[in-house]
Chain A
Amino acid sequence: MITEFDPRANYEKTKKETGYVCRQEATQQTYDAIGFMSGLEVHQQLLTEKKLFCNCPAGKFHKSDNYDAEVVRHMRPTLSELGGYDGTALMEFRTRKEIIYRLKNETTCTYEVDDTPPFPINRDALNIAIKISLLSKLNIVGEVHITRKQYLDGSIPTGFQRTAIIGVEGEIPLKNKKVRLIQLSIEEDSCREISDIGHTRIYKTDRLGMPLIETVTYPDMVNPDEVKEACEYIRFLNRSTGLVRTGIGAGREDVNVSCKGGTRIEIKGVAHTKWIPELTHVECFRQWALLKVRDKLKKLYPSVSEWSMNHEYLDFDMFDITYEPLKIARDLGHKLIAVNLPGFRSILSHFTQPTKMFANEIAERLKVIACLEHPNMLHTEQFEGVITSVDLEIIAPMLGASDNDAQIILWGPAEDMKTAIETIEERCRMAFEGIPGETRKSFEDGSTIFERVLPGADRMYPDTDSAPIPLTDEEIKILGQDLPNDLIERYQQLKKWGVAESTYTYIFKNNLYPVIESISKNTGIDPKWIGNMIGHKLKWVEGHFEKGSEFNNKVLENMLDYLQKHNYDLRLAFRMLPIVYQYPKMDLDSVLTSLRFKQIKTDEIIEKIHFLDEKFNTVAITNRPKNRVNWIMGQLHGLARGNMSLTELHAIVNQKISHE
């Protein structure tokens, strides 16, 4: 007889044992205690006309159902240069995936489908990569060697990504410290995934082969905010050249995290920098929790070899099935299996992430490795239990289960069950060692799920299809000319000018620093004012109005120049901007007319105060000075805007009104 167990209480208890606190409550001490360590791999697409190793256009994208042909491939692991097989490769091979590529003639030639060897590397892309390497203070290699990096998930039809190191050992300066860079490489981008269901994974090849750089840092960051800061710096640096792509998917990060005694875990494809702090925070605690799990299991089984699990095939008829997914499985003729995990009571519902428990680690692997779609299992420690005590009375004796054990019930096609059982056993055995090396997929709420086994250096192989490319001192010298000022100098300049920090992201993201510099130089307007106007007002306008196709930075400059020349209050720009942004060809006088703006001399406005002051006495309900000033300001507001500073007017009104 199996006794009752409260998984929810266990989850809360283990969460507490792990010492989990939300990010707002975490301090540097929190992170030091669990040994937070993180490094980055920042990917950035380069702005070139063509792809990296063929002459297809870069930057053209298609909808998933818009394709001209499909090609099917399967991937097999191969040996690395040093004679080893890569773990990820072997995992992918076990999944027996059929990979389908959807091709669109416009963006795909025989190179993308691996039916033609590579053409010589795109020199424009290579030059951009060298420039950014120089900005990142990296040691530039003497000869670029194209290397194949295995990817058996099918995201690249060759089964490998062509990639090459441009520079090693650089550094970037953050506010309070320097972060070291391991390397910068140039590489071809991968396919975009359309779907991954069961044993079929579908990709499209439009993005495949576009030039990309990857900047890799050492794990020098010791808290989540530092990771974000480093990431932003690298992204801004890339963008400051004006030679990289912007927009959705043009920049992506992989974030490596580990805790004290943990393992390097790679969180893949983080789409937004702002997700980084929560993701790294949660991941570090997940590892910390898994170490707790390990310690608990080790107490029960000092050596993993003493532990073994068993399973039994069940008959659907043995149970009164009400759970919908099980009904479907029964109708599909799937197999039903019960697994007993000795000693795993209170482990399955052990805290791992704020929204997840240990059992999720198993379910996620069943999806990826055994290709069983969610929901793919039930277990005895679910918050909303599906397995009833009646069910357990049937299952437990079959499995010989005892009170210390936990049980999983899984189902799926007969041919996948062998891999599924192996996958459960493998993950449970890994729990005795701690944290399995994985790449994990990220979500906005900061949680992650298992994606693949973490690949190692064993997946590298020289590209026998291409010759090394020498980089002479002379070439590097030429590329090093006219590089934009170092980002950090721009940072410091913005600060010196007094531009608000809240604008930096927008300014660097859109490479607007040169615009501020040039407008200030040409019009003599205070760069602080221009920076804040751009970083706040232009950003707001951009988010609320549709941009006219002719709008550019020159239009912005002309507008400010016009205000300056006419001696108008510059703040008129705030009202003009939405119109100029939408209709950039409209002449500026007309813009002002449409705003019903009339030029009035300051004296004329001030003259009206006396009249309004008296008038207030006749309309006022409560006669307080503050109300009086506000009312007068309200009456003059329209006239004053654009003609004089409202603050200034406010002061004058205050001074002139009757204070009885």
Chain B
Amino acid sequence: MSEDFFQGYKGEALNLLKKYQVRVWGQAEVETTRGNFQGTVLPRSENDDQKHIVMKIVTGYNIGIDTDTITGMKETGYKKANYKIPEKEFPTTKGLPSVKLLGTGGTIASRLDYRTGAVIPAFTPGELYGAVPELADICNLTTDKLFAVFSENMGPDQYKKLAIAIGQEIEKGVDGIVIGHGTDTLSHTAAALTFMVQNSPVPIVLVGSQRSSDRPSSDAALNLMHAMTAAGHGDIAEVMVCMFGPTSDEYGFLHRGTRVRKMHSSYRSTFRTLGDVPLATVTRKGVAPIKKNYNPRRKDRNVTILPYFEEKVAIVYYYPNMMPDIIDSLVDNGYRGIIIAGTGLGHINKPLYPAIERAHAKGVHMFMAVQTMWGYCHMFVYDTGRDLMAKGIIPAANMLPETAYIKLGWVLGQTNDPTEVKRLMLTPVNDEITEREPYNGYLIFQGGVKDVDEFVRKVHK
């Protein structure tokens, strides 16, 4: 394969580079109607226009030059950049727990991608050690890069592969597993793994970062340290999400994989446990459980791997005036299960009733979750709820809509028998349905209230 000398350039810009024989990474002098410019030609991001050439000038800044203004170019040198996190061999320390890091992609470790101009995932133990040397004080780390996909591209195939890989690692005897993952669908994967990997003797910790590791203020390093601590030293042997507690660099939370949700598009402390309190806090000193009931770490290797998933499952987020054809089209397209995120206690409007009836008659499994996120489905309170249950919709208690979606996919991957589906759905694997909601499980602090402001002022949030 010949080397791409004009990485990312198209159209007018590419023509000019070819005409003047200037390559990407070439040092160039450019004459333009706006004066002369000097620097190193950089690759161009694929999504940017074709009218500009990007250069890094000697002071380290990047600039773009308008192709319409260029009257001449000359390459005076060539030096390709080598962007590489310094790799150092990850040291093994006797007495430290062995932790396996499984990579899926995402921003936990990343580098610049000229193709998109964004950051792409990259990691090996050596790179991680180069970037976060403190990890070597926590555990003996090995890594496996299973896939390199962004969070939004994770799906059933990846869930199943991950579950199987986890099972193998547990059998091999690791003390804990950490999974690096983009944050967008981190909670979906956490739910899937909760169902697919049951009775694990060791912690399984999913971790991501909200600020990519190519920035000094990234949360990646601290999240990794927290996750490794939880996986190597913590006593909680469950599938958990480990991310920032407050936005400050202070402590992380461990959330149960079935009760956690990303609640802010960009905040560091975006992950919250809904309808309950978090499992534990974690610092580099160790894990401090908040909940008393959890599955403790065990010596045995008896894990159950259940890698099943039916893809023809959907979530329907109800809105006023929803038309029945939404449900009909799902049924016509062969969907076997639908999670409805209903209003309030679990409601949808009357015009949908015939469509619900048709779906039920075709054997589509329908469960009701609530779009309020917090609280239970209570379909006995109003007539609407009773009508819906009569038409075949089963209330899913306080299961989060996304968790219910993942669980229904997992259940339908194993059976199509309505009784068995209902039994599996309503029997919690790990708190996706809880019997009780603690009074302090629902806390949404609102700024502007005196007590809250006082609290935020005194405590780093």
Check A78 against B247 for contact (C-beta < 8 Å): no
Of the four ranges (under 10, 10 to 19, 20 to 34, 35 or more), the interface on chain A belongs to: 35 or more
29 sampled A-B residue pairs with Cβ under 8 A: A69-B461, A72-B460, A73-B249, A78-B216, A79-B111, A83-B82, A113-B247, A114-B217, A115-B266, A139-B35, A141-B37, A141-B64, A143-B52, A158-B215, A159-B216, A163-B61, A165-B57, A169-B36, A458-B60, A461-B214, A462-B62, A464-B112, A467-B48, A468-B48, A468-B54, A470-B51, A473-B66, A473-B68, A473-B69
Q: Is the CB of B266 within 8 A of A110?
A: yes
Q: Is A472 close to B, CB under 8 A?
A: yes
- Nearest A residue to B61, CB-CB: A165
Known contacts A115-B268, A470-B52; A68/B453 CB under 8 A: yes
Q: Which residues of A contact B143 (CB under 8 A)?
A: none
Which of A79, A85, A458 has the largest count of B CB atoms less than 10 A from its CB? A79
Q: Which B residues are in CB contact (< 8 Å) with A462?
A: 62, 112, 117
- Per-residue B-contact encoding for A259-270, CB less than 8 Å = 1, 0 else: 000000000000
Instruction: For residue B45, give the distance in angstroms from its CB to the closest CB of chain A.
Output: 8
A-contact 0/1 string along B67-99, CB 8 Å cutoff: 111000000000001111110000000000000
Chain B residues in 8 Å Cβ range of A160: 215-216
Is A327 an interface residue, CB under 8 A from the partner? no
Task: Name the distance in Å between A283's Cβ and chain B's nearest Cβ.
Answer: 22
A68 near B112 with CB under 8 A, answer no
Contact of A168 among B63, B112, B216 (CB under 8 A): B63
- Chain B residues with Cβ under 8 A from A81's Cβ? 56, 81, 83, 112
Residues of chain B with a CB closer than 8 A to A117's CB: 266
Please indicate the chain B residues that have their CB under 8 angstroms from the CB of A163 in the complex: 61
Smallest distance from the beta carbon of A464 to chain B beta carbons, Å?
Answer: 5
Please tell me if B32 contacts chain A, counting CB pairs below 8 Å.
Answer: yes
| Chain A residue at minimal CB-CB distance from B84 | A83
Chain A contacts to B: CB under 8 angstroms? 67-83, 85, 89, 100, 105, 110, 113-117, 138-145, 147-150, 152, 157-160, 163-165, 168-169, 182-183, 185, 216, 456-462, 464, 467-468, 470-473
CB distance from B243 to the nearest CB of A (A): 13
The smallest C-beta distance from B447 to any residue of chain A, in angstroms, reads 7
Taking a contact as CB atoms under 8 Å apart, the answer to whether B83 and A144 are in contact is: no
Residue of A nearest to B116 (CB): A464
B299 interfacial by beta-carbon distance below 8 Å: no
Residues of A near B46 (CB, < 8 A) are none
Q: How far is the CB of B236 from chain A (nearest CB, A)?
A: 26
Q: Is B420 an interface residue (CB 8 A)?
A: no
Which residues of chain B (185-230) have a CB below 8 Å from chain A? 210-218, 221-222
Of A76, A116, A142, A152, which one neighbours B69 at CB under 8 angstroms?
Answer: A142
Contact of A139 among B36, B118, B119 (CB under 8 A): B36
| Minimum distance in angstroms from A204 CB to a CB of chain B | 14
Q: For A148, what are the chain B residues with a Cβ–Cβ distance below 8 Å?
A: 215
Q: In the complex, which of the residues B66, B85, B264, B460 contacts A71, with contact meaning CB atoms closer than 8 Å?
A: B460
Could you tell me the distance in whole angstroms from the C-beta of B59 to the nearest C-beta in chain A? Answer: 6
How far is it, in angstroms, between the C-alpha of A470 and the C-alpha of B34 when the chains are bound?
14
Residues of B within 8 A of A142 (CB): 32, 34, 52, 63-67, 69
A147 to B51, CA, bound (A): 20
Given contacts A75-B216, A464-B119, contact A70 B63 (CB under 8 A): no
A76 contacts across to B, CB distance below 8 A:
131-132, 216, 218, 221
Complex: chain A residue closest to B270, CB-CB: A115
Using Cβ atoms and an 8 Å threshold, which residues of chain A touch B58? 457
- Chain B's nearest CB lies how many Å from the CB of A353? 29
* Contact yes or no, A147 B61, CB < 8 A: yes
Q: Which chain A residues border B290 with CB–CB below 8 Å? A: none
Identify the closest chain A residue to B85 (Cβ). Answer: A79
Closest to A138 in B: B35
Q: How far is the CB of A487 from chain B (nearest CB, A)?
A: 20
Nearest-neighbour CB distance to chain B for A461, whole angstroms, equals: 7
B19 contacts the other chain (CB 8 A): no
Alpha-carbon distance between A377 and B373 when the two chains are bound, in angstroms: 60
Of residues 222 through 250 on chain B, the ones whose CB sits less than 8 Å from some CB of chain A are: 222, 247-250
In Å, the complex CA distance between A89 and B215 comes to: 12
Query: Roughly how many angstroms separate A69 CA and B445 CA in the complex, as a whole number?
Result: 14
B443 at the interface (CB under 8 A from A): no
**A-chain residues with CB within 8 Å of residue B210 when the two chains form the complex:** 115
Which B residues are closer than 8 A to A by beta carbons? 32-37, 48-49, 51-52, 54, 56-69, 81-86, 111-112, 117-119, 131-132, 210-218, 221-222, 247-250, 264, 266-268, 447, 453, 456-457, 460-461
Chain A: minimal CB distance from B150 (Å): 14
- 9 smallest beta-carbon distances between A and B, as pairs: A143-B64, A159-B216, A139-B35, A142-B66, A457-B60, A460-B60, A72-B248, A145-B62, A159-B217
How far in angstroms is the closest Cβ of chain A from B145?
19
Instruction: Report chain B residues within 8 Å CB of A461.
Output: 112, 214
Instruction: Decide if A470 touches B61 in the complex (CB within 8 Å).
Output: no
Complex Cα distance A216/B58, Å?
13
How near does chain A come to B16, taking the closest CB pair, in angstroms? 12
CA distance A143 to B250 in the complex (A): 40
**Is the Cβ of B457 less than 8 Å from the Cβ of A185?**
no
Are B214 and A468 touching (Cβ within 8 A)? no
CB distance from B246 to the nearest CB of A (A): 8
Report the minimum CB–CB distance from A9 to chain B (whole Å).
46
CB distance from A212 to the nearest CB of B (A): 15
A145 touches B61 (CB 8 A): yes
| Bound CA–CA A74/B211 (angstroms) | 13
Q: What is the chain B residue whose CB lies nearest that of A462?
A: B62
User: Residues of A contacting B64 with CB < 8 Å?
Assistant: 141-145, 468, 470
- Add 19 more A-B contacts to A68-B457, A72-B460, A462-B112 (CB < 8 A): A72-B249, A73-B217, A77-B216, A82-B56, A85-B86, A115-B264, A115-B268, A139-B35, A141-B64, A141-B65, A145-B63, A147-B61, A150-B216, A168-B37, A183-B57, A457-B58, A460-B59, A464-B117, A467-B117
Cross-chain contact A185 with B248 (CB below 8 angstroms)? no
- A100 to B250 Cα, complex, angstroms: 12
Chain A positions within 8 Å of B457 at CB level: 67-70
**Contact status of A75 and B217, CB under 8 A, knowing A183-B57, A185-B61, A470-B52:** yes
Residues of B within 8 A of A149 (CB): 60
Residue of A nearest to B248 (CB): A72
Nearest CB in chain B to that of A114: its residue: B217
Contact A143/B54 with A69-B456, A152-B216, A158-B216 known, Cβ cut-off 8 Å:
yes
* A159-B447 contact, Cβ under 8 Å, with A110-B267, A145-B54: no
User: Using Cβ atoms and an 8 Å threshold, which residues of chain A touch B51?
Assistant: 470
> In the assembled complex, which residues on chain A have CB atoms less than 8 Å from the CB atom of B34?
139-142
Residue of A nearest to B448 (CB): A105
B285 smallest CB distance to A (angstroms) = 16
B247 adjacent to A115 (CB under 8 Å): yes
Distance, CA A500 to CA B58, complexed state (A): 42
Name the distance in Å between B453's Cβ and chain A's nearest Cβ.
6
Q: Which residues of B contact A141 (CB under 8 A)?
A: 34, 37, 63-65
Across-interface contacts of B266 in A (CB, < 8 A): 110, 115-117
Q: Which residues on B sit within 8 Å (CB–CB) of A460?
A: 56, 59-62
Bound-state CA distance A342–B80 (Å) is 45
Which residue of the partner chain, among B37, B218, B248, contacts A78 with CB atoms under 8 Å?
A: B218
Checking A74, A75, A105, A164 against B447 with a beta-carbon cut-off of 8 angstroms, the contacting residue is A105
- With both chains docked as a complex, state the minimum distance between the C-beta of A384 and any C-beta of chain B, in angstroms: 42
Question: Taking CB as reference atom, which chain B residue is nearest A117?
Answer: B266
Nearest to A456 among chain B residues (CB) is B60
> Does B68 contact A464, Cβ atoms closer than 8 Å?
no
Q: Let me know if A168 and B66 touch, CB within 8 A.
A: no
**Closest CB of chain A to B448's CB: distance in Å?**
9
- Which single residue of chain A is at the shortest CB-CB distance from B459? A70
Residue of A nearest to B54 (CB): A145
- Looking across the interface, which residue of chain B has its beta carbon closest to that of A137? B35
| Residues in B whose Cβ lies below 8 Å from that of A78 | 131, 213-216, 218
Contact between A183 and B54, CB atoms less than 8 A apart: no
Cα A242 to Cα B74 in complex, Å, equals 40
Please tell me if the beta carbons of B460 and A70 are within 8 angstroms of each other in the complex.
Answer: yes
A17 to chain B, nearest CB (A): 37
Query: Would you give the shortest CB distance from A480 to chain B, in whole angstroms?
Result: 12
